[in-house]
Amino acid sequence: MSKATVKKLHWRSKVQESFVPLGGGSGELGLAIGGGADYGEFPFVTAAHGGGATVADIILEIGGTPVLGMTLGDVRGVLNSCPHPIRIKTVSPGSSLCKDLRLYLSKCFTPGSTDSQLQQLIRENLYLRAVPCTTRQPRDGEISGVDYNFVSIEEFFSLEESGALLESGKFKGNYYGTPRPVHIGPESPPITYQEHRNLLRNFRTRSKSLSNLEKAVEEGDNSEEDSGLSAGSAGFPPSIVPLSQSWESAVGSREGLENGIGVGRGRGRGRGRGGGGSGKWSAA
């Protein structure tokens, strides 16, 4: 299959851009959202009054801010606080990019491709509300529940089997997992548009909008001829899948930085845990 054909079939060639209408004289937004990372899904349109977006389409960006990997409450918070007119980017779910967040994260894509970079962006949004878990022993200065949730191998397998992990795998003899974020309660208000924009500036990869990701891929001439197969389909047990190359790189960068390599350590991962994004994720 030629590169031109592959690009034509890729989901990024089908991205739609529209504006969110206001609901008549009430001032309410004519867009309803479902899904969210706390449900193991990408955010998607459940109702679109006055045209524009299509029901069931996946929401990629709101006002230039990427929202894949955010909880439903946070996506709604970004939408409701976004300056008008609100521009959104959506795409119809397909075989590669569907509503299933866990399935998309388990796929292996060419390093540097749009999908590989998007996986990283999704993980960064996930860590606004979730703390990764690992079976390795804590290092000096690490705090359980802040740096990682340190668990036993038995506890890790229990989390994986219960469906609590969106992503899991083994790196240098230790298991790592990305947990599904919890639902936002009244004591933890949703992230606003401006707050999220401020958090974006702390992450190099997440500062890129979808348009910039596409431009970077085109300039680098990276092929999108990825198999898109999940690791489980390649003969690995479906319960614990090996880390995809992009996540293995992220874990490696994180582990290296925590050992004192590169930028200094920072603990905050979103709101309620010290504010903005951690500098150690910039290398991802």
92-148 pLDDT, tens digit per residue, is 999 889 999 999 999 989 888 999 999 999 999 999 999 999 999 999 999 999 999
pLDDT at 184: 77
Task: Give the residue among 258, 106, 222 at the shortest CA–CA distance from 281.
Answer: 258
Query: Looking at residue 93, what DSSP letter applies?
Result: -
Query: pLDDT-derived band of residue 1, with 50, 70 and 90 as boundaries?
Result: low
pLDDT at 253: 59
Highest mean predicted confidence (pLDDT) among 119-123, 212-216, 275-279: 119-123
pLDDT at 61: 96
**Within the chain, how many helices (H) and strands (E) appear?**
8, 12
Whether the CB-CB separation of 247 and 111 falls below 8 Å is answered with no
Q: Which pair of structure tokens corresponds to residue 158?
A: 């229990």
- pLDDT (tens digit per residue) in 145-178: 999 999 999 999 999 999 999 999 999 999 999 9
pLDDT at 62: 96
Q: Which pair of structure tokens corresponds to residue 57?
A: 């389409």
- Residue 233 pLDDT exceeds 90: no
pLDDT at 39: 94
- Residue 22 pLDDT exceeds 50: yes
- Residue 270 pLDDT exceeds 90: no
Query: pLDDT-derived band of residue 239, with 50, 70 and 90 as boundaries?
Result: very low
Work out the number of other CB atoms within 10 angstroms of the CB of residue 46: 12
- Residue 219 pLDDT exceeds 60: no
**pLDDT top residue among 184 and 18:** 18
- Chain-wide mean pLDDT for the chain? 77
Whether the CB-CB separation of 121 and 66 falls below 8 Å is answered with yes
Highest mean predicted confidence (pLDDT) among 103-112, 238-247, 260-269, 270-279: 103-112
pLDDT at 49: 83
Work out the number of other CB atoms within 10 angstroms of the CB of residue 104: 23
Q: Which pair of structure tokens corresponds to residue 236?
A: 């690995």
Q: Please, is 56 exposed, middle or buried when counting C-beta atoms within 10 Å of its C-beta (0-12, 13-18, 19+)?
A: middle
Give the three-state DSSP class for 160: helix
pLDDT at 185: 75
Whether the CB-CB separation of 92 and 54 falls below 8 Å is answered with yes
- Residues 16, 130, 276, 32: is their CA dihedral positive or negative? positive
- pLDDT (tens digit per residue) in 48-97: 987 778 999 999 999 999 999 999 999 999 999 999 999 999 999 998 89
| Number of residues that this document lists for the chain | 284
Distance of CA 268 to the CA centre of its chain: 17
Task: Give the residue among 30, 14, 31 at the shortest CA–CA distance from 22.
Answer: 30
Work out the number of other CB atoms within 10 angstroms of the CB of residue 24: 10
Q: How far apart are CA 188 and CA 29, in angstroms?
A: 23
pTM recorded for the entire structure: 0.76
pLDDT at 275: 35
Task: Give the residue among 103, 94, 107 at the shortest CA–CA distance from 41.
Answer: 103
Q: How far apart are CA 232 and CA 240, in angstroms?
A: 8
Q: Which pair of structure tokens corresponds to residue 227?
A: 């198999």
Rounded mean pLDDT of 242-255? 59
- The residues near 227 (Cβ < 8 Å, ≥ 6 apart) are 108
Q: Which pair of structure tokens corresponds to residue 55?
A: 């029901």
